[in-house]
Amino acid sequence: MTTIVKPEVKTAEKETVKKNKSSVYKTEQLNLWYGSNHALKNIDLDIKENEVTAIIGPSGCGKSTYIKTLNRMIETIPSVKTSGVINYRDKNIFDKEYQVEELRTKVGMVFQKPNPFPKSIYDNIAYGPRIHGIKNKKILDQIVEKSLRGAAIWDEVKDRLGENAYGLSGGQQQRICIARCLAIEPDVILMDEPTSALDPISTLKVEELVQDLKKDYSIIIVTHNMQQAARISDKTAFFLNGEVVEFDETDKIFSNPSDERTEDYISGRFG
């Protein structure tokens, strides 16, 4: 029997975490409805910078809805209504004057299924910088290389930058999508079950990548996989039926949860 070596929960690293980090996202009394379906109920969450925050919970608990609300991608669904406040860097993203494009320039997103554009690898990465006005070929070259290196895929694709990104494997495509997101150097990266469509090896690569990226970015990751949350996150929020049941240090959630429902979930009694 071969055993998969699971990276330990890195306690050593967590001791170095500074106590007074500033918040990137402060959610206050967020409610969200799909038509008449009350999907998020009175969410209060305070997400700190340069941390990996994992959101776990059973299917339909609202975790994907919540992460899509953070960059207002949820608004592509016409029937959605929200109330409450999400402060990103102390500004309410629901304000009428708030420019949603500006928010999404600061907050990148990686989706559940890899969704590269049907363009070359190079053009995929350069798309973000280009729409924000960067046209200089030399600078773009640098950005593309830096982003692909950042997403740990440079060595695999450096000789085929002109090829269509759809020729890559699923795991590679997902790292292309991460690189595409890094290319505009966002402040926060939202990941909506980024490894659910990937094989275990690709999953491991993406997880290692998340650990690396934490140095420069704040990462919020939705995951179905509790081991994954335990492996890579600093804080974990447990969602159930549209509510936050518990939000705490990952270690505490997985070793000594304060809510019975959290314990039931992480010990696999439901969900």
Partner 1 sequence: MAMNEPQQISVQELIAQKSNRGLLAFTEKLIPKILFLIASVSVLTTIGIVFTLIFETVTFFTEVNIFGFLTGTEWYPFANSTPTYGILPLVVGTLKITGIAILVAVPIGIATAIFLSEYASDRVRRFIKPILEVLAGVPTIVYGFFALTFVTPILRSIYPDIAIFNALSPGIVVGIMIIPMIASLSEDAMSSVPNAMRDGAYALGATKLEVAVKIVLPAALSGIVASTVLAISRAIGETMIVAVAAGSTPGFNWDVTGSIQTMTAYIVQVTTGDAGYGTTIYYSIYAVGFTLFLFTLAMNMLAQFISKRFREEY
Which is nearer to partner 1, 123 or 234 (by Cβ)? 123
Which is nearer to partner 1, 131 or 139 (by Cβ)? 131
Residue 126 amino acid letter: A
Q: How far is CA 226 from CA 14, 232, 241, 267, in A?
A: 19, 10, 17, 10
Contacts of 166 (CB under 8 A, 6+ apart): 116, 118, 173
Q: Could you count the other beta carbons within 10 Å of the beta carbon of residue 15?
A: 7
CB 251, CB 232: distance < 8 Å? no
Determine the distance from the C-alpha atom of residue 261 to the mean position of all C-alpha atoms in its chain, rounded to a whole number: 24
Q: Could you count the other beta carbons within 10 Å of the beta carbon of residue 224?
A: 16
- Residues lying near partner 1 in the complex (CB under 8 A): 71, 73, 76, 78, 101-106, 108-109, 111, 113, 115-119, 127-128, 131-132, 164, 166, 177, 180-181, 184
Shortest distance in whole angstroms from residue 144 CB to partner 1: 14
Which is nearer to partner 1, 222 or 253 (by Cβ)? 222
Shortest distance in whole angstroms from residue 172 CB to partner 1: 15
Which is nearer to partner 1, 109 or 210 (by Cβ)? 109
Shortest distance in whole angstroms from residue 192 CB to partner 1: 10
Which is nearer to partner 1, 220 or 266 (by Cβ)? 220
Rounded to 5°, the CA angle 187-151-59 comes to 75
Which is nearer to partner 1, 150 or 257 (by Cβ)? 150
Shortest distance in whole angstroms from residue 270 CB to partner 1: 30
**Residue 110 gets which letter from DSSP?**
E
Shortest distance in whole angstroms from residue 47 CB to partner 1: 18
CB 55, CB 66: distance < 8 Å? yes
Q: Which residues pair with 249 in a beta bridge?
A: 235
- Residues 264, 198: Cα–Cα separation, whole Å: 27
Tokens of 228: 């994954």
Shortest distance in whole angstroms from residue 244 CB to partner 1: 24
